């Protein structure tokens, strides 16, 4: 069993091993896509293959659309060279369900892969051709929040949009699907900034900026995405190899990207998008995508990022590193940690949640606490989630603090668990766990800088916390908890104390 076009022709063998196979004519879809592309995605990572590619496959299987996906990679070209093209852009999605069952799907909706390399004339020529196609409706992104701040990357993307402008001001939706606050605004800010530079440098006329700023020509919808997609797991690799799959070993690129011909992910997924598509769009709502207005997307994003999932993830990441845990589901078997994230969501976060109506906050949180985080078949790690924590805290906790300060019926003095988590973060920065052993902290752009500061100085960093913690009693409370976390077993004692206090 080889994951290539020729290798999947005998679909019966794959089906006999429990694989769901694509039911559309891939050759016809590929030809139609090359001639009239509708959707190109930047960022060939795991979340894209597990989510967006599978959404497109659902439409193709149901005969609801006739074009597939084109993927472009602008950071690590080896992903395309060594994974995508070696496997004819095919992938295996392994869905790990909370009841212990596994669903295996051969995803064939990605029908072309490109490299965003300005020095590669052939690759750029094809990308320019795609952007000049009147049929193109959506350009989506999962390049992480840092990607929008990378000038070299965004310059190449903006240059492609310039091709579309020159082709007759053709309309298009630029859709960020990254897990960050107001992702569409961040994408627009990056593109507008680069376009202004282009005009100053004489690369284009001022009409290009007008084109970008006209929502009837180019839109930048907000979106909220949610699907946990950990790094490809060795146990899943072994399972697939036992099925008879060949050439399935993961690849570690020179840029240290861990990529495999398969992706493992949870079953739960949400994608809510502001419905602004000036050139039309595929019927993605028939594959589970929720289209709504900007205000509702904003509410769903805040619900998830500020209360019902991301703060709980960060709390587990911090304490998981301090307690030496290697998986999130093991942490949920820790009575105190399970209580911590439950009350963090239900008691402190839920007070400031605004119901978006399209998704129930209570049902969302319940699924996170009872189904998603405890899933023993999801090989997610606190170390992975702890990456870039300094970039996540302003939204995951800072926004809740702001909401408490704005509300006349609430007081930040009522907050107990958020200060506990932030004190845990100060302890995490020391690189010493609760047993007194040194541990390696996860990559973070501010890690080196913050480790050199005294705790009092760290708490003054509004860029890290999103608020002035010294504006009220929060900083003092965090420092007092942190001081008590020193010494072997002290973090555990503080956790137990505050969890018991909240339960009382």
| Domain range summary for the chain, segments of one domain joined by + | 11-292, 295-503
Instruction: Choose among 221, 198, 207, 139: nearest CA to 172.
Output: 139
**Cα–Cα–Cα angle for 340, 341, 344, rounded to 5 degrees:** 85
Query: How open is the CA angle 442-443-446, to the nearest 5 degrees?
Result: 115
**Contact indicator for 303, 359 with CB cutoff of 8 Å:** yes
Instruction: Compute the Cα dihedral for 251, 252, 258, 259 and give only its sign.
Output: negative
What is the torsion angle, in degrees rounded to the nearest 10, for the CA atoms of residue 140, residue 142, residue 146 and residue 152?
A: -50
Q: Coil, helix or strand for 200?
A: helix
Q: At a CB cut-off of 8 Å and minimum separation 6, what does 25 contact?
A: none
User: What secondary structure letter does DSSP report for 247?
Assistant: S
CA distance linking residue 420 with residue 403, whole number of Å: 18
Going 386 to 387 to 389 to 392, the CA torsion angle's sign is negative
Residue in 324, 327, 326 with CA at minimum distance from that of residue 489: 324
Rounded Cα distance, 147 and 122, in Å: 24
pTM here? 0.87
Q: Which of 9, 33, 31, 30 is nearest to 21 (CA)?
A: 9
The packing angle between helices 474-484 and 490-503, to 10°, is 130
Q: What is the model's pLDDT at position 319?
A: 98
Please give the radius of gyration of the chain, using alpha carbons only, rounded to the nearest integer: 23
Among left, alpha and beta (phi > 0; psi -120 to 50; other), residue 133 is beta
- Burial of residue 496 (number of CB atoms within 10 Å: 0-12, 13-18, 19+): middle
What whole-number distance in Å separates Cα of residue 34 and Cα of residue 501? Answer: 61
Residue with tokens 């310039």: 162
Answer whether CATH 3.30.365.10 is correct for domain 11-292: no
**Tens digit of each residue's pLDDT, the chain (504 residues):** 999 999 999 889 999 999 999 999 999 999 999 999 999 999 999 999 999 999 999 999 999 999 999 999 999 999 999 899 999 999 999 999 888 889 999 999 999 999 999 899 999 999 999 999 999 999 999 998 889 999 999 999 999 999 999 999 999 999 999 988 899 999 999 999 999 999 999 999 999 999 999 999 999 999 999 998 888 888 889 999 999 998 888 888 888 888 889 999 999 999 999 999 999 999 999 999 999 999 999 999 999 989 999 999 999 999 999 999 999 999 999 999 999 999 999 999 999 999 999 999 999 999 999 999 998 888 889 999 999 999 999 999 999 999 999 999 999 999 999 999 999 999 999 999 999 999 999 999 999 999 999 999 999 999 999 999 999 999 999 999 999 999 999 999 999 999 988 876
Residue 164: CA count within 13 A, CB half-sphere: 26
Alpha helices in 324-372 (DSSP H): 328-331, 335-343, 361-367
Round to whole Å and give the CA distance between 329 and 382.
10
User: What pLDDT score was predicted for residue 277?
Assistant: 98
The fold for domain 295-503 equals 1.10.1040
| Confidence (pLDDT) at 504 | 66
> Coil, strand or helix: which one is 266?
strand
Angstrom distances, CA of residue 322 to CA of 13, 28, 422, 433: 46, 53, 13, 4
pLDDT at 225: 95
**CA distance to 30, 44, 108, 137, 159, per residue, from 69 (Å):** 9, 11, 9, 12, 21
């Amino acid at each position: 069993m080889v994951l290539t076009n020729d290798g999947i022709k005998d679909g019966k063998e794959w089906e006999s091993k429990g694989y769901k196979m694509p039911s559309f004519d891939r050759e016809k879809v590929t030809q139609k896509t090359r001639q009239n592309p509708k959707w190109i995605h930047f960022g060939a990572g795991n979340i894209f293959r597990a989510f967006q590619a599978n959404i497109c496959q659902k439409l193709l299987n149901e005969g609801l659309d006739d074009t597939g996906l084109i993927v472009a990679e602008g950071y690590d070209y080896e992903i395309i060279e060594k994974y995508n093209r070696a496997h004819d852009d095919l992938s295996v999605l392994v869905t790990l369900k909370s009841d212990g069952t596994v669903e295996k799907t051969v995803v064939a909706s990605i029908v072309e892969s490109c490299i965003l390399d300005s020095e590669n004339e052939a690759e750029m020529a094809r990308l320019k051709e795609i952007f000049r196609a009147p049929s193109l409706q959506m350009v989506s992104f999962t390049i992480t929040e840092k990607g929008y701040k990378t000038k070299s990357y965004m310059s190449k993307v903006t240059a492609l949009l310039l091709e579309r402008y020159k082709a007759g001001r053709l309309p298009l939706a630029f859709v960020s699907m990254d897990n960050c606050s107001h992702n569409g605004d961040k994408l627009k800010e990056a593109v507008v900034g680069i376009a202004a530079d282009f005009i100053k440098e004489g690369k284009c006329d001022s009409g290009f900026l007008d084109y970008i700023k006209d929502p009837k020509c180019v839109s930048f919808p907000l979106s909220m995405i949610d699907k946990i997609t950990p790094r490809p797991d060795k146990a899943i690799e072994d399972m697939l190899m036992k099925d008879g799959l060949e050439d399935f070993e993961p690849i570690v690129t020179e840029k240290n990207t861990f990529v495999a011909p398969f992706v493992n992910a949870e079953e739960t997924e949400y994608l809510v998008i502001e419905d602004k598509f000036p050139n039309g769009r595929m019927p993605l709502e028939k594959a589970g995508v929720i289209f709504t207005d900007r205000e509702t997307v904003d509410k769903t994003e805040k619900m998830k990022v500020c209360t019902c999932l991301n703060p709980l993830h960060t709390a587990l990441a911090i304490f998981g590193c301090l307690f030496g845990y290697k998986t999130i589901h093991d942490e949920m078997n820790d009575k105190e940690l399970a209580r911590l994230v439950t009350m963090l969501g239900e008691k402190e976060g839920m007070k400031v949640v605004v119901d978006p109506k399209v998704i129930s906050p209570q049902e969302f949180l319940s699924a996170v606490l009872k189904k998603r985080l405890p899933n023993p078949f999801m090989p997610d790690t606190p170390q992975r989630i702890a990456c870039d924590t300094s970039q996540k805290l302003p939204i995951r906790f800072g926004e809740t603090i702001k909401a408490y300060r704005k509300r006349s019926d609430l007081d930040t003095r009522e907050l107990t668990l958020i200060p506990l988590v932030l004190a845990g973060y100060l302890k995490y920065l020391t690189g010493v766990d609760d047993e007194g052993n040194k541990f390696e902290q996860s990559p973070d752009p501010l890690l080196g800088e913050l480790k050199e500061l005294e705790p009092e100085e760290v708490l003054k960093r509004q860029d890290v916390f999103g608020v002035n913690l010294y504006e009220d009693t929060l900083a003092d409370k965090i420092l007092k908890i942190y001081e008590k976390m020193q010494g072997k077993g002290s973090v555990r004692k503080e956790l137990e104390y505050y969890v018991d206090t909240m339960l009382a």
